[in-house]
Amino acid sequence: MTPVEQQTDPTWSRFFVYHTVRTIAEELGMSHYVCNFYIYVLTSGVFRRQLRRTLDARCRRAVQASSTHS
């Protein structure tokens, strides 16, 4: 079937609509995970404190590791 025939075929038209809607839904679903981090940072003091502790611990380990290699 040629691309021109696909554009006029009702079955292919439904498929293209389905595929477009599915792609948009998947993108929205994936962006949900990205947005959660920022929502927690903006709204949760407990999350910010724990994040700060975690990052501080990682930085301290990185500094200790670099000082032992020098």
When divided into structural domains, the chain yields a total of 1
CA distance 10 to 3: 13
Instruction: Quote the domain boundaries for residue 15.
Output: 3-69
pLDDT per position as a tens digit, 28-70? 888 888 889 999 999 999 999 999 999 999 888 887 777 776 5
Confidence (pTM):
0.50
Alpha-carbon distances of 49 from 34, 37, 45, 61, rounded to whole Å: 20, 14, 6, 18
Q: What is the pLDDT of residue 48?
A: 96
Q: Is the pLDDT of residue 7 over 70?
A: yes
Q: What is the pLDDT of residue 17?
A: 94
Alpha-carbon distances of 1 from 4, 9, 26, 59, rounded to whole Å: 8, 10, 28, 59
